Amino acid sequence: MTPRIVRTIAYLTLLALGGCGAPSTASVEPTAPIVAVSLPVQRDVTDYIDYTGRTDAVNSVDIRPRVTGYLVEMPFKEGSDVKKDELLFEVDPRPYQAQYDQAASQVELARAQLKLAKADYQRSLVVAKTPGAISQQDLDKYLAAQEEAAASVDARVASMEQYKLNLDFCRVISPIDGHISRYYLTLGNLVNQDQTLLTTVVSVDPMYAYFDLDERTLLKIRDAINDGKLVRHQGKDFPVLMGLQSEQGYPHDGMINFVNNRVDPFTGTITLRGVFANPLPPAGVRLLSPGMFVRIRIPLGAPHPALLVTDRAIGTDQSRKFVYIVDAENKIRYQQVTLGALQEDGLRVIEEGLTKDDWVVVSGLQQVQSKMLVSPEREPMPIPVAEAEAAAKAAETPADQTPAKPAQPPGAPPATKAPARTDPPPAKQ
């Protein structure tokens, strides 16, 4: 016989044996699943919006030479802080020194010619006192020669000033206090006036942070200002917070000191700028540099009371958000909610749809459904950040250093965890 026929005979035999027995009268009661429930956390929160941005220097300068020549000196250290008017580069000054000396000599020559022209004119005036000794035409010539010599002096002096500027421009100095980049050229290289990029200098304190605000939030902020819910600092600036990638939360306080004059019609956003202090620690380095990725938080209004739950208690039904609540009959109830901002400890603000006495299902949402009978296990609202820190600490503890549980006396019952809140939901009347 084939295996299939053997299985069929065995199945029919079992059916026959089962039919000969007496019918069972006992029914199995379905067991209500155990679910963890918690009351919402109540505390004061401040509404805010979060964005991402990039830092930028308040002042940024491309260092270029203002004369053409060969580099002969570069006294600064790459990547260091420099002061305003500190020497960065020097172009060979000898050609410009020679031009300046020549121009200075031309000035002296012109002044000597002016001195002679003045003397000739004064003598002509003395001679003119004798009738018929000199014509008026000759007097005019002497006067014109004096004025020409004076103009020549002025022209030579101006030319000398130009050569003096070129000689001064051989010393390339820093126009600002800031942090300097590397050498883009080394000693002996030819640099061209106003063209060759030698290095860059950026200011470091304070520091800007640029970010883009969407049009909907822009209108929300302007409505809050008009309604008096959002007050400007000193009548002009708004507070703003900033956090770096390596930081928890937003520890840096700043002010929004610029809002662009138009909304970008292609992205529907407007550019804002916050300014933040970037001090130098006594024995360290500045924290911020231009071009860094930062997290931006804008507070909206004053603190107000709110209810908060963990994000894992929130479900998604297409575009709607909901939570499951255990009612007085220990049955699951579907409740649609309106979400608010996510707080630093990982709890989410619930703006609408929840009361402080609602027991919210905080785990196993996929195992329950509306009107299902459950057995609630009450516990404090889980704090995501605290749980993550505890898990990280446990992961860092070596296996052989795990603290042992205290021994119990012989015959003692096993220890149980006491619930944080034992008052059950009110019974149905």
Other Cβ atoms less than 10 A from the Cβ of 185: the count is 16
DSSP label at residue 373:
B
The partner residues of 41 in beta bridges, in order of sequence, read 308
pLDDT digits (tens, 9 = 90+) for 333-377: 999 999 888 887 888 899 888 898 999 998 878 888 888 888 888
Q: Are 335 and 323 in contact (CB under 8 A)?
A: yes
**C-alpha angle 61/63/66, rounded to 5°?**
125
Q: Please provide the CATH number assigned to the domain covering 93-169.
A: 1.10.287
Q: Which of 75-84, 224-233, 401-410 has the lowest mean pLDDT?
A: 401-410
Q: Which of 20-24, 29-33, 55-59 has the lowest mean pLDDT?
A: 20-24
Q: Please provide the CATH number assigned to the domain covering 47-58+203-304.
A: 2.40.30.170
SS3 89: strand
**C-alpha angle 285/291/295, rounded to 5°?**
90
pLDDT digits (tens, 9 = 90+) for 158-170: 888 999 999 999 9
Q: Which of 23-27, 62-66, 141-145 has the lowest mean pLDDT?
A: 23-27
Q: Higher pLDDT residue, 197 or 283?
A: 197
Q: Does the pLDDT of residue 243 top 50, yes or no? A: yes
pLDDT at res. 24: 47
Q: Does the pLDDT of residue 32 top 90, yes or no? A: no
Q: Are 78 and 185 in contact (CB under 8 A)?
A: no
Strands 190-191 and 199-202, bridge-based pairing: unpaired
| % of the chain beyond a pLDDT of 90 | 36
Other Cβ atoms less than 10 A from the Cβ of 25: the count is 5
pLDDT at res. 236: 62
pLDDT digits (tens, 9 = 90+) for 96-118: 999 999 999 988 898 898 888 88
383 — pLDDT class (breaks 50, 70, 90): confident
Q: Which of 20-24, 32-36, 90-94 has the lowest mean pLDDT?
A: 20-24
Q: Does the pLDDT of residue 410 top 60, yes or no? A: no
pLDDT, average across residues 34-47: 88
Other Cβ atoms less than 10 A from the Cβ of 376: the count is 18
Q: Does the pLDDT of residue 122 top 60, yes or no? A: yes
Assess if CATH 2.40.100.20 describes domain 62-84+174-202. Answer: no
- CATH top class, domain 35-43+305-391: mainly beta
pLDDT at res. 266: 92
Q: How far is CA 279 from CA 9, 19, 46, 207, 211, in A?
A: 88, 88, 28, 10, 22
pTM score: 0.65
pLDDT at res. 249: 82
Q: Are 184 and 197 in contact (CB under 8 A)?
A: yes
Other Cβ atoms less than 10 A from the Cβ of 256: the count is 21
What is the phi/psi pair of residue 123, to 5°?
A: -65, -35
The partner residues of 190 in beta bridges, in order of sequence, read 70
* Type of residue at 271: T
Q: Does the pLDDT of residue 242 top 90, yes or no? A: yes
Same fold, 35-43+305-391 and 93-169: no
* 3-state class percentages of the chain: helix first, strand second, coil last, to nearest 5: 30, 30, 40
Query: Domain limits of the chain?
Result: 35-43+305-391, 47-58+203-304, 62-84+174-202, 93-169
pLDDT at res. 232: 66
